[in-house]
Amino acid sequence: MMNTDVLSSVLRLLRFKASVFFHARYCGSWTIDTSGSGRSTFHLIAGGNCYLHLPGQEKSIPLHTGDLIVFPRDSKHRITDVEIYNEDEHVSNPIEVDSCEVEGATALICGYFDFDDPKRNPVINALPDTVLVKGSGNIIEPRLQILIDLMKSETDNSVTGSDVVIDKLSEILFIYAVRSHINESAPQSGILAALTDTQISRALDAIHDKPAEAWTVEKLAMEAGISRAPFSAHFSELMGKPPMTYVGEWRMQLANVELKEGKKSMLEIAESVGYSSEVAFRKAFKQITGITPGAARNNTH
C-alpha cells in the first residue's frame, strides 16, 4: 500500500505552477513537437486519436481520448496523426475542426509544468523521461475523466477567470500522473518505490513528520521495525543514498521553502529543521545545497 502522507509532503515541496499554452482541434495531416523549451511539458488528448513517436522506438504509441503524457525533463518527442512517421514525407498541414468532420478531429490541451528547483526534488528525479497515463483501464479513470471534462469545458468556453481555472486544473494533472505511475509501473527504486515499501515508508514518514528530531540510523531503524544494518542497507539500495544523507537533504528542502517565503528568522528556520544554532545551520545548508541560506532567501524566483 502506498504511503500517501509521504507522497503528499514531497509533492507540497514541489512548488510548481502549470500553464496551458495550446488548445486546438485538428484533423488532416499534423505534427506537434514541444521539446526544446527546457521545461516540463504535458499533452492531454481531450478527444480523438493520435500517435506518440519517441526517439529510439520503432513503433509509435497509440493515444486516445483521456490519455495524458508528461515529459518531466523535456524529452524529445512528436505527436502526429499517423502511426508511421517519416519526417521527409510527412507534411504538417493541420485543418481546424470547423473545416472537417468532428468525428475525425483530435483535440489537444498542451501545457508546461514549471518547478521550483526540480533537480533537488526526489519525485522529479524518480520519474522516467516519459510518463503515460491511460485515460481508460486504470484505477483513477473516473476522476481523471471529470478533470478532463472540466478542462475541456473551460477551454471551450472563454469565461471570466477561465485561464486561472485551467492552470490550476493542470496542476492536479501532474499529481494524477505521479499517482498513476506508481500504481501502474511499480517503480523499483527512488522515493516512489519507497512509498510502497512498508518498512522504508515508515522511516520516511517519521523523517517528514518530525524533521527537527535528532535522527540517527538506529532511531530510524526502530521506526521501520527492523535492525540497524538491514535497514541502512535496504534504505541505501532503494533510495540511492544513506538514511542520514536523505535526512539532511529533506531538512534543507524544507528550509529552502521557508527562506524563500521570508516569514521566519534564520534561527527559527534552523530550529525547525533540527539545528540549535545559525552557524551549524548555515554550514549544513551550504554543504548540502551548494549555496548559502542568504543566497537562497534572495533567490525567490
Average pLDDT over residues 290-301: 85
pLDDT in tens, 65-81: 888 999 998 899 999 98
Task: Sheet with 49-53: list strands edge to edge.
Answer: 31-32, 78-80, 49-53, 61-64
pLDDT tops 70 at residue 95: no
69 touches 130 (CB < 8 A): yes
**Burial class of residue 80 in the structure, from the number of CB atoms within 10 Å of its CB (0-12 exposed, 13-18 middle, 19+ buried):** buried
Average pLDDT over residues 227-238: 96
Q: Which of these ranges, 94-98, 107-111, 178-182, 248-252, has the smallest mean pLDDT?
A: 94-98
Sequence-distant (6+) residues with CB within 8 A of 171 are: 16, 17, 18, 113
Higher-pLDDT residue of 155, 39? 39
106 touches 50 (CB < 8 A): yes
Short-list 216, 215, 212, CA closest to 270: 212
pLDDT tops 80 at residue 104: no
Q: What is the mean pLDDT of the chain?
A: 85
pLDDT tops 80 at residue 194: yes
Paired residues of 18 in beta bridges: 113
Domains, in order of start, for the chain: 4-185 (2.60.120.280), 197-298 (1.10.10.60)
Residue 231 neighbours by CB distance under 10 Å = 22
pTM of the model: 0.78
What are 64's three cell numbers? Answer: 486516445
pLDDT tops 90 at residue 248: yes
Sequence-distant (6+) residues with CB within 8 A of 103 are: none
Higher-pLDDT residue of 217, 158? 217
What's the pLDDT band for 140 if we cut at 50, 70, 90?
very low
Predicted pLDDT at 195: 84
